[in-house]
């Protein structure tokens, strides 16, 4: 694993990242909500890239992991701009984006911003537009009023917050209904036992993408995390298949 570096964003905050130089397109891994670059999928992708001589970028969003900032101040638009600034700083002219859960939503926004530099997308239980389908009406009323809501966290002891800033920004960045102007290869992996993101979201995403080269892989016994050895092996096979 490469050492952690720190990039000074235009905001003055420092963003933590690990960059492995190598052959392009570089694989950029975008973690999920409240996740960071220490996750098992991110580490596996970096190891895979190192074995193949591929460039790879792991990162922590501001307010997450080893980056500066408070999570309450984070939102999709900010994290999109931060990722784009880091990719520009590293001079990456060709990338493949791999997004997990919320990172699968963010990869759509980053792909719009980077345009032709993004050659392929890989979504792992992608969760685009989850401000629309992921909350009850009572929760939406609380968020619209500017209040934070908390939900049980199946992956840890502390409740998971959703802050009003994130929710309102997410509402402005929904993409499924409008269509997604991306023409490169897309691979979407989703577990049928996903309790957090319904698997039909990947089907909707596939239908929304303009590209004709879109494949959805449904894992019958897969959960939301898709972090078992077999799940990660499938992810790496798909990355290899679009290596290009």
Distance from first CA to last CA of the chain, Å, rounded?
24
Task: Single out the residue of 224, 171, 232, 172 nearest to residue 197, CA to CA.
Answer: 224
Query: Could you tell me which residues come within 8 angstroms of residue 80 by beta carbon, excluding any fewer than 6 positions away?
Result: 106, 109, 110, 113
Q: What is the 3-state secondary structure (H, E, C) of 104-157?
A: HHHHHHHHHHHHHHEEEEEEECCCCCHHHHCCCHHHHHHHHCCCCEEECCCCCC
* DSSP 3-state of 217: strand
Residues annotated as catalytic are 101, 194, 224
- DSSP type of residue 243: -
């Amino acid at each position: 694993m490469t050492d952690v570096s720190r990039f000074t964003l235009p905001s003055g905050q420092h963003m933590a990242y690990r960059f492995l130089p190598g052959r392009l397109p570089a694989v950029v891994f975008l973690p999920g909500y409240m996740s960071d670059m220490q996750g098992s999928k991110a580490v596996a992708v970096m190891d895979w890239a190192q074995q193949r001589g591929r460039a790879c970028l792991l990162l922590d969003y501001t307010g997450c992991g080893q980056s500066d900032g408070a999570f309450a101040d984070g939102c999709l638009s900010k994290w999109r701009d931060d990722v784009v600034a880091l990719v520009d700083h590293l001079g990456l002219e060709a990338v493949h984006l791999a997004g997990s859960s919320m990172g699968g939503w963010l990869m759509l926004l980053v792909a719009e911003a980077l345009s032709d530099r993004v050659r392929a997308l890989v979504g792992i239980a992608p969760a685009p537009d989850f401000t629309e389908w992921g909350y009850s009406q009572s929760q939406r009323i609380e968020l619209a009023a500017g209040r934070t809501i908390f939900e049980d966290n199946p992956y840890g002891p502390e409740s998971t917050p959703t802050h009003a800033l994130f929710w309102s920004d997410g509402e402005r960045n929904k993409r499924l209904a409008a269509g997604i102007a991306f023409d490169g290869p897309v691979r979407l992996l989703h577990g049928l036992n996903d309790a957090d993101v319904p698997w039909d979201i990947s089907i909707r995403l596939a239908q929304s993408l303009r590209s004709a080269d879109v494949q959805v892989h449904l894992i019958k016994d897969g959960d939301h995390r898709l972090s078992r050895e077999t799940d990660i092996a499938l992810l790496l096979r798909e990355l290899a298949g679009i290596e290009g």
